[in-house]
Structure 1
Amino acid sequence: MTNDRIPIGRFSLMTHLTCKALRLYDRKGLLVPEAKDRFTGYRHYTFPQIEKGIKIKTLCWLGFGLDEIATLLDAEEEGKKDIISDMMRNRALEVRSDILWLEKIEQVLLKPDSAMELLGMNVSEPQIKDIPELRVLSRREIGTYEDTISKHAGELFGFVGSQAFQRSNAKITGPVMFICHDKEYKEIGADIETALPFAGRVNVDDSAIKERTMPAVQVVSAIYKGPYDGVEVGYSRLFEYMTEHGLAIAGESRSLYINDPKEVPEEELLTEVQIPVKKTK
């Protein structure tokens, strides 16, 4: 072995990267050893590769995935500073979102008994309701729940506050709601529709906002009290009730936001969850 060849174990000590990680980076083509022994398969690195190893470790620490790290290293090599800046900025936005999420958790944990209250089923007794046909102003797109629903609600209420709506004889007849069009939960790329029931005539001149009629349905319904992040306990209670009473899903679920998060604390938020149902045979 020549003096500039570094065995994987020693290279691991120099870079503080585990041998398991180094083997993965080799398979991914991210950090390929300069030499491999044909007979033993032992990996040997060189001193110039130490800097690259440390860069990879630092980028991992910043939260980038391996594909993103490969893109960043290629961009650095090719002098594409705009790509690096965009990726760093996007990662900073993700970190800010994570910080806000962790701050919410911290606030709950610091309140006496509140963390344990979240573990309870803070949900009213489910009931069967007949929901009449609803005319709604609707906004639908692919996105994430936390960002998209609040954005949609702002756009819908912005339209309601417009002169065009105010001049019409239309009026709002119910709370803003979220309609789930997916068959499974998706953290990103969810098919999200936010709707606002209304009555009367109105000319919708915003291409993003549609007017449509939601059909009459029978639903099983319950009121969940607490932060929006915990609304799944409401749906869990509804599914339990459906199983107990021989009911099957007959349409897309709805979440109705009864009070305003700007006016009440998170623990006082009320969300009515509805699932259209039919009797199983």
Structure 2
Amino acid sequence: MPVDQIPIGTFSRITHLSQKALRLYDERGLLVPAARDICTGYRYYTYDQIERGIRIRNLLWLGFGLSEVEAILEARERGDAAMIQEHFARRLAENEREAGRLHAIAGALRKQQQDPFNGGFSMSITEPVIKDIPTVRALSLRERGIYQETIPRMIRELFTYVCPEDGRQPAARIAGPIMFICHDEEYRETDADIEVAVPITGSVSLDGTAVEVVNLPGGRFLSVLHTGPYPGVGKAYERLFSYMNEHRLVPSGPSRELYLNDPAEVPEEELLTEVQSPVKDLPPSP
């Protein structure tokens, strides 16, 4: 065996990549052995390939998938720094969202230790009430995406029309709380149909953007007020649908979440979310 050929077992030990993983990377063309024994098919690597192997291991440790690792290494080979930065920025954003989720879970677990029967969240829910809500004129933005990522970005974009960063006095003014409108019939981790709206008065110039001025339909709504962290809002929906079942009501359109205060200004346990669902009476049984 030539001196510069490293058996797969030794290469595995050096790079901390399993032999099973190395065989997979060979099949994908991600890390192809420099030589292969004709009789046994045994794989051999060179010392120059150690750096690539360790780079693959480090990228995997950072949470990149194999397709992303391939794209990053290809970008590195062609000197495309912008592409590499884009992959790392996206991965950083995903990690920060996950860190926030884990922080919230840790807080919920601490509260669960203090009160084993509160479900992990300090919260309160009012009794549902029926409201007659008028049609609401609003700035609206509707996209598909991930809730935790897309909603905050859409809110920031909408606010540029009513709170310009350059200090100009806007023509349109906020006339109610920010709301999220759910158009999906099921919960989606990704590719959710998300609409965010801000009620306004006055005129607004949209300059051909995806933002629209819409009239959100009014009507008969069942409403409940949730106080506490946003992940606990599911209990408000549970209470709404329980009330519907008790009073022979059914949803007649997309539900809405109205955010009545700012998470940057109040602690999680004081966050106020009003959940509204348009309803109609269930038809009498035949």
TM category (shorter chain) comes to 0.7 to 0.9
- Which of 199, 202, 207 is the equivalent residue of 1:197? 199
Deviations 1:31-84 (A, max 9, x none): 223345566554443333222211100111122221111112122222333333
State the match for 2:171 in structure 1.
164
State the match for 1:46 in structure 2.
46
Which contiguous aligned blocks of 4+ residues in structure 1 show a shift greater than 6 angstroms? none
For 1:185 and 1:53, locate their aligned partners in 2 and report how far apart those are by CA, in whole Å: 39
- Distance change (3 Å), C-alpha of 1:36 and 1:250: farther
Is residue 249–residue 275 contact of structure 1 (8 Å, CA) maintained in 2?
yes
State the match for 2:261 in structure 1.
259
For 2:212 and 2:255, locate their aligned partners in 1 and report how far apart those are by CA, in whole Å: 20
**Structure 2, unpaired ranges of 5+:** 164-168
For 2:205 and 2:56, locate their aligned partners in 1 and report how far apart those are by CA, in whole Å: 51
Letter in 2 for 1:87: H
Is residue 97–residue 148 contact of structure 2 (8 Å, CA) maintained in 1?
no
Letter in 2 for 1:20: K
For 2:263 and 2:11, locate their aligned partners in 1 and report how far apart those are by CA, in whole Å: 53
Residue 254 of structure 1: CA displacement? 0.6
Is residue 108–residue 120 contact of structure 2 (8 Å, CA) maintained in 1?
no
Taking structure 2 as the reference length, the TM-score comes to: 0.76
Number of corresponding residues = 274
Letter in 2 for 1:216: G
Letter in 1 for 2:9: G
Residue 179 of structure 1: CA displacement? 0.8
State the match for 2:166 in structure 1.
none
Taking structure 1 as the reference length, the TM-score comes to: 0.77
| Identity across the alignment (%) | 49
Which has the larger displacement, 77-86 or 33-42?
A: 33-42
Residue 213 of structure 1: CA displacement? 1.6
Letter in 1 for 2:172: F
For 1:235 and 1:34, locate their aligned partners in 2 and report how far apart those are by CA, in whole Å: 59
Letter in 2 for 1:23: R
* 3-state SS, counterpart of residue 232 of structure 1: helix
1:150 aligns with 2:157: no
* 3-state SS, counterpart of residue 164 of structure 1: coil
State the match for 2:114 in structure 1.
113
**Structure 1, unpaired ranges of 5+:** none
Is residue 108–residue 114 contact of structure 1 (8 Å, CA) maintained in 2?
no
* 3-state SS, counterpart of residue 139 of structure 2: strand
- Distance change (3 Å), C-alpha of 1:74 and 1:196: closer
Q: CA RMSD in A?
A: 3.5
* 3-state SS, counterpart of residue 63 of structure 2: coil
For 1:122 and 1:42, locate their aligned partners in 2 and report how far apart those are by CA, in whole Å: 64
1:181 aligns with 2:183: yes
For 2:100 and 2:55, locate their aligned partners in 1 and report how far apart those are by CA, in whole Å: 28
